[in-house]
Structure 1
Amino acid sequence: MREDDIRSITTSGEQIRVVNPATGGVVGEVPAGGKAAVAAAVDAAEAAQAGWAKRDPRERGKILGEGARIIRAQTDALAALLTAEQGKPLHEARNEIQGCANVLEYYHSVSGSIRGECLPLSSYGLAYVLKEPVGVCGAIIPWNMPVLIFAWKLCPPLVAGNAVVVKPASSTPLTTMRIADILEAAGLPAGVLQVVTGTGASAGAALAATPSLGHLSFTGDTKTGEEVSQAAGRNGVPVTLELGGSDAMIVCRDADLHAAAAGAVAGRFYNCGQTCTAVKRVIVDASVKEQFTRMLCEKAAGIAVGDGSRPGVGMGPLNNAPARDGIRRMVDACLSAGEGTLLCGGGIPDGAHYEKGLFYEPTIVSDLPDDSVLLNTEVFGPVLPVISAESLDDAIRIANSTRYGLGASVWTHDIKTAMLASSQLDAGIVWVNQHLRIPPDVPFGGMKASGTGRENGSGAFDPYLRSKTVLVRS
């Protein structure tokens, strides 16, 4: 698909240009909405709320199922648009589009599970508990996995009977808007889903400060999440926050080192390292560190970096200039200060075809000091530190030493080791002999500075329903 074919969203007024991070070309334009646009969207959603809430949850779920069917039929076109605006390779974009459809299908399948309670109480008569929608809900979507996280945040409130106002990231709004159109074509009533485009400082801040929301869900960095939580809290709006992470991957001495090295490279460099639950630190038993590190570097060297729309590309560009420049500054500062050993990468790839894009090489470093910025902040890009541990206890201590607690993995053939590590790691999700993949059936979220609340699974309905108790005495 040529960029001219998808430059389709233009309106009058101030616009935001959506730029292809691999080429610098303009993919499209969207309105630069702010406080007034958010207020209008919330009003329209409130007008549609009552009718939507009266529908049976199974009927609401069927619309999601039909939306998934249409999305699957349009996978190639949607993936091309996602690659153009986000930068990820086409095969990763297709996986994300299919993942979005998976989430819609899952919530279609569990849409009949919303239940109240009936309690015969001898002293009071009959008590029953109704589950009602909380009202218009807000969702703020990041740019790294915009389509998948859109589905995570949209499906539970919709099935629960709420209207939703969504604010996509300003650099990746186009595929989200296209899928919103698909859901309307699938039968979603007009007004139930509102998409407001704009920057985080304008539209995002306005949505977070809206007092009438029944719930607000945000995915993004920890600092912004704290600001969103404070803005919502001033109005008593409850929030779900999925924030930053510094996910540790523990490689034990008995692990399948080839599988673990492949898992580390896939888990770190997928989406150019721009994934909340990416492998951000590898903690490997000292007895196998040299062998394992050699495998890592060999596999990283085989990653083809380039425009994600081209065949054979394994890693695309970073999504935006601040992201790429921030990674470059961090790595350069550490190396200039004599911190760590650069094993591979560490710069912008050579070649004229890289000059217009936001590319950075797959980078692996080792021997970093404990206080290195590369170990203690969320590095949202293709940089992988390797840390040596003397024992499992030492590895768990290192893994838990940051302020984050989103995800972690342990690689071992010993089930006792796996269970022990899983119970002691400060993480909302722990993988064993795998990393990164999250099915829609299970709860997902973090602890510590990585957020509050959970998305996915049938429990994701809970924030979007309120209980009303009725006591009947004849």
Structure 2
Amino acid sequence: MDMLINGTAAMAADETWIEVNNPATGEYIDKVPRGSKEDVNAAVEAADAAFGAWSQKTTRDRGLILCRAAELIRRDHKDLARLLTREQGKPIRESTDEVRGCANILEYYASIAGQPDGEAISLGKAGDCLVTRVPLGVCAAIIPWNMPVIIMGWKVGPALLAGNTLVLKPSSSTPLTNLTIAGLLQEAGLPAGVLNVVTGPGDTTGTALVQHPRVKKISFTGDCATGRRIREMAQDHIRTLTLELGGSDPMIVMADADIPNAVEGALRGRFYNAGQICTAVKRLYLHEKIAEEFISLLTAKVEGLTIGNGLLPGTDMGPLNSAEQLGRISSVVSETTGREEGTIRTGGCPLTGPGFEKGFFFKPTLITDVAPDAALLRNEVFGPVLPVMTVPDLGAAIREANHSKYGLGASVWTKDLSTVKQVFREVNAGIIWVNRHLTVPPEVPFGGTNESGIGRENGFKALDSYTQSKTLYLGW
């Protein structure tokens, strides 16, 4: 599986490779080139050369290509889902949802392709102005490993519809489905050079892409430390940034909530994709009146999850993506118990034994009695570990929810509209869910506050971040 530059496959300049392996079994799947700075330059040049013709097409024509690509993704969704599970580890059901979600995103942007943009401003005797929006040029998208297909859709859809060309760098551990979908976009009629995919490590290909002077916008999804470095590097050339840098989402459950529904919400919100989602439920705050019942019900649900190879029927949760991820999760749990900052209710260790010998499996874990300043609460824990706290009232829940450097998402589970209003006003987050968590349809703007990043993805307004205004002043 080679990089795609200018619509054709290209080998890395140094002819070295990165192996892609199944995190559930350790099996070799494929290899991709270890790209270099020269490969990034070639991709940017191809995108720059294609920009003129692509930007002159109507949004309707560009939207039709996105629509055709969505049809091809749906046609091949079973193969794409299987490939995604093999390289990422998630259960096939979740991979299928993600692949179909990518098609939904491309269809959404195709559906708004004919909507007008810009405005006319009458200035009386001073004249008239016509303000339109024009594409930026060559854009860069850096994709993480946890939800590579859905996030590819978030970035490719608005960037291409707006008339930009794009260089995309997937994660080194999950590049295969991204490359395959790029090929489907090409099959759908995307001209050569409009979308280029360069594989390779972040410290080489990623850095070269961020520092390239002809890249006008960078859209990055990943960890806070890398996001800060990208922001610093981008200052050398004035450009637009969208940074989605993760979070530590609180889930607040009040005494009047539908408890069975909230238990299911906590289960899915934390353990979907083995907890490896930016907007996963990472802190659970329960009103003291329902805490004991809730924890008992949730514990039974967690202990009933089937863990294993995502390709096997009936699997509820797959492995973590890498040995590094497994090490991080094991460490944070060990530190929490070693410092007596929490009590393990269930789980708390890697899975070993038959069927788990070569994979990166960790038992889904609930930890209660968590100390208010425990690292488990203050840092983002990107895995299947859920800290559970009891609170006396809504005010306490909101104070604890805001005791975080992040601000991506949050949810409140209640039947009381006044409670919803207070949470919406006072909790620091880019999106507040009510009686649900995780759901982000393509129509809904998505992004965070504080250290969760800058800018928004999704929705009609996402097009604004891929365009700039241009004014015609008529002074007659």
1:430 alignment partner, one of 417, 429, 432: 432
Deviation at residue 58 of structure 1 after TM alignment? 0.7
Of 447, 450, 458 in structure 2, the residue corresponding to residue 448 of structure 1 is: 450
Amino acid at match of 1:83: T
What letter is aligned with 2:384? P
**Paired amino acid for 2:29:** V
Residue 11 of structure 1 and its aligned partner are, at CA, apart by 4.8
Corresponding residue number in structure 1 for 2:334: 332
Q: Tell me by how many angstroms 1:208 deviates.
A: 1.2
- Residue 367 of structure 2 aligns with an amino acid whose one-letter code is V
Cα deviations by residue, 1:191-224 (Å, 9 ceiling, x for unpaired): 0000000011111111111122121100001111
| 1:145-203, Cα deviation, whole Å (9 max, x unpaired) | 00000000111110110000000001000000000000010011010000000011111
- Matching residue's letter, 1:88: K
Of 90, 93, 97, 2:92 maps to 90
Match of 1:247 in 2: 249
Give the alignment partner of residue 23 of structure 1, picking from 17, 22, 25: 25
Cα separation, 1, equivalents of 2:175 and 2:354: 29
Deviation at 1:339, TM superposition (A): 1.9
Question: In structure 1, what residue type is equivalent to 2:157?
Answer: C
Q: What is the TM-score of this pair, normalised by structure 1?
A: 0.97
**Which residue identity is paired with 1:172?**
T
Which structure 2 residue ranges, 5 or more long, are not aligned?
1-8
| 1:338 CA drift (Å) | 1.9
> Deviation above 4 Å: which 4+ runs of structure 1?
9-12
Paired residue for 2:322? 320
CA distance in 2, matches of 1:362, 1:428: 27
Deviations 1:14-44 (A, max 9, x none): 1000110000111110011121111110000
What is residue 187 of structure 2 aligned with on the other side? Answer: 185
Whole-Å separation in 2 of the counterparts to 1:104 and 1:463: 17
Does the residue aligned with 1:112 lie in a helix, a strand or coil?
coil
CA distance, structure 1, for counterparts of residue 248 and residue 67 of structure 2: 35
Spell out the pairing of 1:236-275 with structure 2 (5 A cutoff): 236-275=238-277
Matched with 2:367 is 365
| Distance in structure 1 (CA, Å) of the matches to 2:44 and 2:10 | 22
Query: Does the residue aligned with 2:125 lie in a helix, a strand or coil?
Result: coil
SS class of match (1:165) = strand
> Which secondary structure state, in structure 1, belongs to the residue aligned with residue 396 of structure 2?
helix
Q: Indicate which of 169, 172, 194 corresponds to 2:171.
A: 169
Q: Distance in 2 between matches of 1:119 and 1:59?
A: 28
Q: Within 1, Cα distance between the matches of 2:291 and 2:197?
A: 48
**Paired residue type of 2:255:** R
- Counterpart CA distance in 2 for 1:122 and 1:394 is 55
Q: 1:134 and 1:15 mapped to 2: Cα distance?
A: 33
Name the structure 2 match of 1:277.
279
Q: Which residue of 2 aligns with 1:129?
A: 131
- CA–CA distance in 2 between the matches of 1:447 and 1:251? 22
Instruction: Find the aligned partners of 2:421 and 2:415 in 1 and give their Cα distance.
Output: 11
1:210–1:232 contact (8 Å) kept in structure 2? no
Letter in 2 for 1:335: T
How far does the alpha carbon of each residue in 1:39-81 deviate from its partner, in whole angstroms, 9 at most, with x for none? 1100000000000000000110111111101101111000000
**1:89 corresponds to which letter in structure 2?**
P
Q: Deviations over 1:78-134 (max 9, x none)?
A: 000000000000000000000000000000001122412222322332321232111
What residue number does 2:357 align with?
Answer: 355
Counterpart of 2:384 in structure 1 is 382
Shift of the alpha carbon at 1:10? Answer: 9.8
Secondary structure of the equivalent of 2:233? helix
**1:458 maps to what in 2?**
460
Show CA shifts across 1:274-303 (max 9, x none). 000000000000121111111110000111
| Aligned partner letter, 2:171 | A
Does the Cα contact within 8 Å between 1:211 and 1:237 map onto a contact in 2? Answer: no
Alignment deviations for residues 215-266 of structure 1 (CA, whole Å, 9 cap, x no partner): 1100001111111111112211220010120000000011111111111011
Percent identity over the alignment is 49
Q: Is the 8 A contact 1:10 1:28 kept in 2?
A: no
Q: Is the alpha carbon distance of 1:114 and 1:195 closer, same or farther for their aligned partners in structure 2, counting shifts above 3 Å?
A: farther
Whole-angstrom CA distance in 1 between matches of 2:227 and 2:125 = 46
Aligned-pair distance for 1:418?
1.4
Please say if residues 10 and 29 of structure 1, whose CA atoms lie closer than 8 Å, have aligned partners that are also in contact. no
- Counterpart of 1:45 in structure 2: which amino acid? A
1:226 aligns with 2:228: yes
Residue 468 of structure 1 corresponds to 470
Q: Given residue 74 of structure 1, which amino acid in structure 2 is its aligned partner?
A: D
**Quick one: which amino acid aligns to residue 360 of structure 1?**
F
Residue type of the alignment partner of 1:203: T
C-alpha contact 1:264 1:279 (8 A) present in aligned 2: yes
Unaligned ranges ≥5, structure 1: 1-8
Q: How far has the Cα of 1:424 moved from its partner? A: 1.1
Question: Contact 1:305 / 1:313 at 8 angstroms: preserved in 2?
Answer: yes
Matches of 1:30 and 1:278 in 2, distance apart? 30
Q: Identify the residue that residue 43 of structure 1 maps to in structure 2.
A: 45
Match of 1:70 in 2: 72
* Residue matched to 1:106: 108
How far apart, CA to CA, are the structure 2 residues paired with 1:373 and 1:114? 48
Q: Distance in 1 between matches of 2:444 and 2:298?
A: 30
Alignment correspondent of 1:4: none
SS at match of 2:132: strand
Query: Helix, strand or coil: the match of 1:291?
Result: helix
Q: 1-side partners of 2:84 and 2:316: how far apart?
A: 16
Matches within 5 A, 1:380-419: 380-419=382-421
Aligned-residue offset at 1:464 = 1.1
Among 285, 298, 301, which residue is 1:299 paired with?
301
**TM-score in terms of structure 2 length:** 0.96
Partner-residue secondary structure (3-state), 1:440 = coil
Contact kept, 8 Å, 1:67 with 1:104, in 2: the verdict is yes
Give, in angstroms, the shift of residue 421 of structure 1.
1.1
Contact 1:327 1:380 in 2 (8 A): yes
CA separation in 2, counterparts of 1:217 and 1:114?
A: 24
CA distance in 2, matches of 1:125, 1:338: 71
SS of the residue corresponding to residue 111 of structure 1 reads: coil
